[in-house]
Amino acid sequence: MASAAAVVTLNVGGELFQTTTATLSRAGASSPLASLGASTPSAPYFLDADPRLFARLLSFLRHGRLLLGGAPPPSAALLAEARRFALDGALLASLSRASAFAPLELRPSALLPLTGRAAPSAMSVCASPKHPASIVAAHGGVVTCFDAALATRASVLTPLPAVDSLVAVSPALALAGASDFPGVHLCRFSDDAPSAAAAPDVLSWPDSPSATVLSMAASGAPSAPCLFASFESARRTSSAIVVFDLNSMSPVAEIGRKEVYGADVEAAIPATKLGWLGEHNLLLAAGSHSSPGGVVGDIRLWDIRASATVPVWEVREKEDCFADVAGSDTLSALFKVGASSGEVFMTDLRRLDNGGGIGLEPWVCIGDGQRAAAAASSRRKVGNGCRIECYCNWVFVARGAYVEVWSQIELAPEAGGKKVMKRNWVGSGPSIEVGNGEEVAKEKAKIVSWAFGGSRMALARADKRSVEVWDSDPAAIYANP
């Protein structure tokens, strides 16, 4: 067997390339590249392929990501070349575009073990035309980044006891926060993040440096990338959303500052869920408060161009307060899971008016409306622990160990041509253990955190010290170039 550091010389379409067997092995066991041993310039392996495309694939194997610079996402020709060399499913998925994401073709493809004894508490996926889908996971006070090919990892030890909120800015930089420790902490995985080179190690709310972070979201706008961080003061007497410029890592604005007076806690519920709707230029901020009288929640939409003190829309939730809420740019809608009913509701962002409201009854149940009403009246808590997230044209809901996906379909013209939401089940992806020649399905634990990017879904389960990676079927990727 060739040494892991053995040099391999390749003649690709008349051009010579030199690499190592270790680099080629990252293509996966099913790839013919992984089986190539040492060779010399006088006797290279010959590959009848386009040298320009092969150079990009070889660069990907070396770095774990495409060095795109300002180039567009990977072309169909590059994806076809990757398939030709039978790169493993995880590598194909990392090369694919978000537009090729096929939710009903998601399959568990990798299990990434984490060091230490702590289970993952927060997840984030970095995926953009410049940054293929690397996965970042927080476990205890450690933040670990897996490269796009899932071949290498890098870890940073933070001073945080446990990370509650995590945002992957690039494969070289992530931002972490905890509800019991002040500030947003920068996690640098390499020196390839020039914007963070001279930045402080901790970003804080200028008016309250000891404030803790409850939630974070990034805008992702290429021209002016921003971080939104929801802060609460150490004494829990005030809260605000602070906007940081990710180029300079400095605070540039404050949104929705609240003060708590006396025992009126519900008057200043801080945002524990943030989301950025770039197409609508809206910031989604939601938070809830549990008391003996039940759960009360606030959902607000902010247009930061118009006002930093008055939201464009606000609703106070009491009857069936949300367990989780998310917004979709492509569907122009907000979605929530009822804490009492566990049913999914939506409201149309296009119904926003200049008066700052959608209506007295903004939510429409797209699940079982009768069951939702019965659960709300009986104050059951079927939806507790459910999570909801929007990605591309789909809405995902985590129910215990299972994942369901909602997609928008258009009715036939004779039915009015209306669009409705349809529920599908992705399932839990039970692991298969082979023992005594038999296959045994092992039930999986509850999903506690997840993230989406590229053609991937990454999730963490309760008490499991690993990251579960789901990828779209490669056949589905190439069926939609």
Q: Which of 10-14, 212-216, 314-318 has the lowest mean pLDDT?
A: 314-318
Cα distance between residue 280 and residue 464, in whole Å: 38
Cα distance between residue 150 and residue 430, in whole Å: 21
What is the predicted pLDDT for the residue at 9? 95
Cα distance between residue 387 and residue 322, in whole Å: 10
What is the predicted pLDDT for the residue at 84? 86
What is the predicted pLDDT for the residue at 436? 41
Exposed/middle/buried for residue 438 (C-beta within 10 Å: 0-12, 13-18, 19+): exposed
Interior angle at CA 268, CA 267 and CA 273, nearest 5: 125
What is the predicted pLDDT for the residue at 67? 56
Tell me what the mean pLDDT of segment 415-424 comes to.
74
Cα distance between residue 456 and residue 134, in whole Å: 10
Per-residue confidence at 334, pLDDT binned at 50, 70, 90? very high
Q: Return mean pLDDT, the chain.
A: 81
What is the predicted pLDDT for the residue at 69? 42
What is the predicted pLDDT for the residue at 216? 94
Tell me what the mean pLDDT of segment 104-111 comes to.
83
What is the predicted pLDDT for the residue at 28? 76
Q: pLDDT tens across 436-468, in order?
A: 444 444 567 899 999 998 778 999 999 899 999
- Report the candidate in 237, 223, 156 with the shortest Cα–Cα distance to residue 189: 156
pLDDT tops 80 at residue 477:
no
What is the predicted pLDDT for the residue at 440? 40
Tell me what the mean pLDDT of segment 247-275 comes to.
86
The domains located in the chain, with CATH, are: 7-87 (3.30.710.10)
Cα distance between residue 102 and residue 109, in whole Å: 14
Q: pLDDT tens across 129-177, in order?
A: 555 578 999 999 999 998 776 767 899 999 999 999 999 988 888 999 9
Per-residue confidence at 376, pLDDT binned at 50, 70, 90? confident
pLDDT tops 50 at residue 229:
yes
Cα distance between residue 238 and residue 70, in whole Å: 41
